[in-house]
Chain A
């Protein structure tokens, strides 16, 4: 097991190395020149040369890459070109805000999705099952940015229950802070919910048809115990895999949701950076998101191994 984890961590570093080369190559090989991007269209030749001197843009590319990477490794992410501040604190702040969104949504998706899936499986081919299937279908088919807009229109504009957009720091009160999170979390939850509930439903149905469930019922165990202690435990394994895939979707979803609700997180900052061609911010942002993505995939795999006694990575793979 330990060997497996170490292997995976080494692999993550390989991915980050490849990604760093890729990011650097793409951002350097772009049409047009960095100095001109910073200064705008009307820059004079002198100004461009001055900037190029300052940023040492005329050095050979491998040297520039090395300088960038070695700075990264010491924790120096560079300065934002547009905001003229160090990138690291900017990123860490927006990362925290995005993480709040991500964890709350994952929690909602897992708890609500699994509950709905179990209900649908228990009430198989009856009204609740059909109802849940119908709403799962809607959840999958309506794009998340449209869900966001529908939520704004109905709950914020029409009913006036929650603020439509924006973000308020926790220091201004728990209630207002939470009320700004409801809409984005609900949107993310809606789009991911369907996969979880469908997966739970189908694996739960499968488990309910097995002999051990019949045996447990025959023993006279209360239905609650049969459902949750026996069937659900085994039914959750495939659900966890789907949940791990959902984390990948969450990364895309967060970018969209932060745009719709004007929520100042990582996704919105990355979009801002791309719009303004703020290279250091783009480079650091993408690299960090890749790292988090790889780590979350690893933790999903480890969780799966931990929960499934039939898989022990140490023996089978390493």
Chain B
């Protein structure tokens, strides 16, 4: 199916033979490296992330400290490595949560046209009419911050997007003959949803999820930057950049190292997502954040 779509829409650019998009490979490699490093970080990091080297504060990058040291003499390279896991976790948890809640609701709404659909979609409209960061801030206005809550807040805010995407695919699929056949056979609703609709709907859902992962990493970084994520002395990238601000003059590398790490990760996942999009649905190309 993907091949037909590719050839129809982009006669010029793509060769006829089916090949994995270059984005997908490059992005997958970058994302893979980051995931690999984040899991092996405790082994790879030359120093513990909170070990203070009192004799070498705010040192520039050197052979001893690859990315320099911060105001407590902590090794930036180790902290950037250790900070990868919380940042990735937030991105994946948030997306997972929105999938877990959004997809079943979307399936149900698409399957039961009529009142249920109407109620669900109006509720989703309601949720979407609040600015996302404000919802997150409202949660943090009253409870102490943590990365779990940051991930939860982002995930909840994105439920409507997942619901909408899943619902529209389901609505399309409901017109197909194989679904009508399954209903005529008297299959149970749950069976139809899980074994007939979901396997055909997943490419679009996965593409949407891949976009959401990058947005979640960015948004989670933003929340930690604002002080709503992990708390010191833990390290995650957003927090590190925020803590580095008073030392921009004396030691810009404290901010630059985690910033570059985060940008590198996001570029990787973005490329991967674009590759997935090209693979599954070329018509979606050319759109950015939504």
Query: B interface, how many residues as a size bin?
Result: 35 or more
Of residues 221 through 277 on chain B, the ones whose CB sits less than 8 Å from some CB of chain A are 221-222, 225-227, 238, 241-242, 244-245, 248-249, 252, 255-256, 259, 262-263, 266-267, 270
A29 to B143, CA, bound (A): 10
A108 to B139, CA, bound (A): 32
Contact B222 A19 (CB under 8 A): no
A259 to B137, CA, bound (A): 14
Quick one: which of A149, A242, A289 contacts B248, CB cutoff 8 A? A149
A255 to B132, CA, bound (A): 12
Q: Can you name the residue of chain B whose Cβ is closest to the Cβ of A296? A: B131
Of residues 23 through 67 on chain B, the ones whose CB sits less than 8 Å from some CB of chain A are none
Q: 30 pairs across A/B with beta carbons < 8 Å?
A: A15-B126, A15-B129, A26-B139, A26-B142, A30-B143, A31-B142, A136-B288, A140-B288, A141-B214, A142-B259, A143-B221, A143-B238, A146-B262, A149-B256, A149-B259, A153-B252, A194-B288, A198-B288, A202-B287, A252-B132, A255-B133, A256-B222, A259-B225, A260-B245, A274-B137, A274-B140, A275-B227, A286-B138, A289-B134, A297-B129
Cβ contacts under 8 Å, A249 to chain B = 289
Cβ contacts under 8 Å, A260 to chain B = 245
Contact B133 A251 (CB under 8 A): yes
A146 to B222, CA, bound (A): 10
Contact A195 B138 (CB under 8 A): no
Interchain nearest-CB distance for B223 vs A (Å): 10
Query: A interface, how many residues as a size bin?
Result: 35 or more
Query: With A202-B286, A274-B141 given, is the CB distance from A146 to B134 under 8 Å?
Result: no
A238 to B2, CA, bound (A): 25
Identify whether the interface residues of B are mostly helix, strand, loop, or mixed: helix
Interchain nearest-CB distance for B79 vs A (Å): 16
Cβ contacts under 8 Å, B256 to chain A = 149-150, 153
A271 to B138, CA, bound (A): 10
Residues of A within 8 A of B (CB): 15, 18-19, 22-23, 26-27, 29-31, 136-138, 140-146, 149-150, 152-153, 157, 194-195, 198-199, 201-202, 242, 245, 248-249, 251-252, 255-256, 259-260, 270-271, 273-275, 277, 282, 286, 289-290, 293-294, 297
Cβ contacts under 8 Å, B289 to chain A = 140, 195, 245, 249
Residues of B within 8 A of A (CB): 126, 129-134, 137-143, 214, 218-219, 221-222, 225-227, 238, 241-242, 244-245, 248-249, 252, 255-256, 259, 262-263, 266-267, 270, 285-290
Cβ contacts under 8 Å, B143 to chain A = 30-31
Contact B267 A293 (CB under 8 A): no
A249 to B133, CA, bound (A): 9
Cβ contacts under 8 Å, A199 to chain B = 286-288
Cβ contacts under 8 Å, A149 to chain B = 241, 244-245, 248, 255-256, 259
Contact B129 A143 (CB under 8 A): no
Contact A137 B267 (CB under 8 A): yes
Cβ contacts under 8 Å, A286 to chain B = 134, 137-138, 141
Interchain nearest-CB distance for A131 vs B (Å): 16
Contact B222 A252 (CB under 8 A): yes
Cβ contacts under 8 Å, B288 to chain A = 136, 140, 194-195, 198-199, 242
Cβ contacts under 8 Å, B139 to chain A = 26
With A145-B225, A146-B255, A149-B256 given, name 9 new contacts (CB 8 A). A27-B141, A143-B222, A242-B288, A251-B133, A274-B137, A286-B137, A290-B134, A293-B131, A294-B129
